[in-house]
Chain A
Amino acid sequence: MPAHILASQPTEEQYLNCIRCGLCLAVCPTYREDLSEITSPRGRVALARKGLEGELKISSNLIEQMYACFNCLACNAICPVGIRPADLALDMRTLQERIRPKTWKKVLFGGIFPKPERLELSTWPLCLYENLGMRRLFYSLGLRRLLPGRLRDMEAMLPRLPQRPLRQMLPEISQVNGDERYRVGFFLGCLQSLIFADESAAAVRVLARNGCTVVTPKETVCCGMPALGFGKSEQALQQARHNILLFEKADVEFILTDCATCGSTLKDYGKILAGDPVWAERAEAFSKKVRDISEFLMSIPLEKPKGSLEARVTYHDPCHLRRGQGVWEQPRALLRMIDGLEFVELDEADWCCGLAGTQLITHYETSLKVLKRKTDNLAATRAGYVASGCPACQMQLNVGVRRASLDMQVVHPIALLDRAYLSITFPAKTAGRCIHPNQEITKVTTTNKKEKRWTSRSSPYSKK
């Protein structure tokens, strides 16, 4: 996360001490695919420096190199000097937007992302596509194959979509099952509400089951990462202030999220608003309360699930969870709590999956190459499930699994825990629909026969 977001441009200390040792080349997913220096963190730092010092023009090609960074933070983590090339790339994007702002970004990040209802409206066509049965038809008739490759991959990102956004379904306050031990806020991310509604509903259920009264403010807006990623840091700061205010009102001990990207951004509010005299302290207080859901669950006395899950499961580390928040042991420990579950470690588990927010759309070829490395490693695990605590990663893994025709389901670790609690092999009846946290769920142990008709390998309808 850029620490100098309020400064007019990146500062000298962000690049001055880079001695070009090249260690970052070893861990950079874009460099390791393209093998040309300009796609490396060291190259980007050199370009930023030359641009800022006037040796090179801040040309569109120079800025494009900053957008080619996947912001996976691997370079930040490995640099012995403490240079943060990934942050510098984001700061350069911000600088560009200050010099030459783009109208479409203003519309998208100023007019749509901060307004949940507009964001929901914009994904309406997708909901129709899913819920009018068109998507099912598409899969069953094999029409998907007729789509051009790129569009097919975009389509493949989506899991089974919910009928309505979770934001509209989830009550503001979800009551605890039993005695209240914690009063927690739940930050419902955009992707979670619009696309992975099942998983966040499961997360709220798991929390309620473990002594939490869960407050989900309805007016939360995007955490700000997309805006930051596209250089609109002012918008990101506004969104941050809005969210801080909202959770101050909610009066909660912890602020939880099941999205790695949201989590890392929320935890950085304190840092990005540090230069704002009015908000610095409040932002810091907010960030101190933020926990990733697996981080939180593993820090409380967690109920061991009675149900079991006979499956081989592996785990992919989201960059913004492992390096962004230092959370990587917890989700593994959480999965290992489930009886019957055989955990198998993924080779290069913390290597970027290649989505990085939007890179599958903006840098399609590179994104696919990075993804290929991930799917090769996934295939080697012979796991039936790949868990990952990040909706964006899950979308990209969906693409990978379908491209490589792997017989593998992509899930959030908490969703697996929820299934183990509910002792069901798959929430067939409730898939695609939100369940009220306190709603009684009937035990489903076999796959619904009617559902099975639509099952095909690596489709969003396939069941375990």
Chain B
Amino acid sequence: MDKQILALLKKIIGREGVLTTPEDLAVYSYDGTFERGCPDVVVLPCTTDQVSQVVRLAAQAHIPVVTRGMGSGLAGGSVPSLGGIVLALTRMNHILEIDRANATALVEAGIVTADLQTAVENLGLFYPPDPSSIQESTIGGNIACNAGGPRCLKYGVTGNYLLGLTVVLADGRALKAGNKCIKDVVGYDLLALFTGSEGTLGVITEAVLRLIAKPKFVRTALVEFPSLEDASRTVNAILTAGIVPAALELMDETAISCTEEAMHLGLPLDVEAILIIETDGSDEVFVLSEMETIADICRTQGARQVKVAKNELERSNLWEARRSVTAALARRTPNKLGEDITVPRSAIPEAIRRLKIISYKYGLPIVIFGHAGDGNLHPNILFDMRDPAQWAKVGEMVKEEFTTALELGGTLSGEHGVGTLKRPYMQQALGPLSIEIQKRIKQTLDPLNILNPGKVFPE
């Protein structure tokens, strides 16, 4: 990196926030995938103004800018594939305001989602989106990927809770969009445009989030199914019975056994699948009776046992286990590729059947778990990247996974985003017209292509 640029960056951020040692650069070369790309410099700004100045400088010098939160992404979105400046927003981690009267929170992009949730829950409020990476991801990253999570079945995804944004555009100007109002139809919905834009249209630095009242009562059950197929059919049986649980999660046997090895919670090791089902609300009787109805449906569909968590500890253990699944799978093999294909929920049993066939065909395990209630599955291929034969198979398998999702009327990604990993399949998923429109939007907002280049769109 040019010495002059470094000097200017240090002038903007201060020496503390500009990192250039080989060791510092090396640890910003990855995210939660196996993608790699070494940055030329890492900056840790503390204010929107600093971000503006850095982006302006980058625009003048035509240097790529890759925005990053805690680097837990699962699509390679925050990996600086083409080098340049990594803009790590982790030090912008303040809650600027919690407005109890309007139930909104104004936060900086780098706040850890779990920290925000704790803060608002202490006030009796609730921020529902709960990606499994809730403790190691930031609001900025959640918005940039439109993150989901178990509770999104009932409460909706990150984008549904977004009321306002401060975004630094590719020329360094800061755009403020939205406000504290629930309704706003003046002009195009720019919030929606930046939601899920993966750092390619602007740098999100602040957000106004909608909060709701915290449900007073919650019940969580662990349901054991001797057959995976029964479990997958049960999902639809519950949802078509007119019940919307707060969460409806599926884990197959490998997911269960890896998690049990890691957590020692006494999960059943002799079943093909479990469902984790949660109901919540402000009326205890209603929550209890809903859980009973669900339990009845599960038993009719072939559940062996329905265990309702007896206390908050049991409940939080169950969720901690669920959040650990994705990492726990790495107990088996050095690498794993976790996708997040999503299908209309009626197609879940068929999707699972086809994924099993893909696994059988190539001889590599595909572990299946995910947010079955909203059709969002996480097929994880377990492999060892050092073996070229396995690596080649993984490529083929992913292709077939995506084809399956599209054939069933679904999509490539429900919550992880495109990043670098799903780029090759964008054309197939969206078609040329959609790609063309999106590329024009990108061209308008970032004519120099300095914001997270090499991501999302095919060449």
Contacts and interface: CB of A to CB of B under 8 A. Distances in A.
A11 interface: no
Nearest to A47: B23
Contact of B23 (A17, A25, A38, A79): A38
B91 A19 contact: no
A146 interface: no
Nearest to A27: B135
B14 to A, nearest CB: 13
B328 A80 contact: yes
A162 to B, nearest CB: 42
Interface residues of A, number: 31
Instruction: Point out which of B27, B42, B112, B336 has the most chain A C-beta atoms below 10 A from its C-beta.
Output: B27
B104 interface: no
Best-buried of B44, B90, B91, B263 by chain A (most CB within 10 Å): B90
A61 B136 CA distance: 26
Given A25-B136, A26-B135, A80-B259, A19 B32 contact: yes
B132 to A, nearest CB: 9
Interface in A10-50: 16-23, 25-26, 35-38, 40, 42-43, 46-47, 50
B369 to A, nearest CB: 13
Interface string A206-246: 00000000000000000000000000000000000000000
A119 B34 CA distance: 49
Contacts of A19: 32, 34, 327, 330, 335-336
B177 interface: no
B334 A20 contact: no
Contact of A46 (B30, B72, B325): B30
Interface string A78-97: 01111000000000000000
B438 to A, nearest CB: 29
B262 A80 contact: yes
A50 B27 CA distance: 10
Contacts of B334: 16-17
A62 B27 CA distance: 11
A76 interface: no
A175 interface: no
Contact of B90 (A20, A26, A35): A35
Interface residues of B, number: 44
A47 B70 contact: no
B121 interface: no
Nearest to B386: A16
A380 to B, nearest CB: 13
Contacts of B336: 19
Interface in B1-48: 19, 21-24, 26-28, 30-34, 42, 44
Given A20-B30, A46-B26, A25 B327 contact: no
Contacts of A22: 32, 70-72, 133, 136-137
B330 A17 contact: yes
Interface in B44-77: 44, 70-72
Contact of B22 (A21, A40, A46, A56): A56
A23 B259 contact: no
A26 B26 contact: no
Contacts of B137: 22
Contact of A35 (B93, B135, B258, B325): B93
A459 interface: no
Nearest to B333: A17
Contacts of A163: none
Contact of A80 (B22, B24, B33, B324): B324
Interface of A: 16-23, 25-26, 35-38, 40, 42-43, 46-47, 50, 55-57, 59, 61-62, 65, 79-82
In the A-B complex, list the 7 residue pairs whose CB atoms are closest, starting with the nearest.
A26-B135, A22-B136, A22-B72, A43-B27, A80-B328, A80-B324, A80-B327
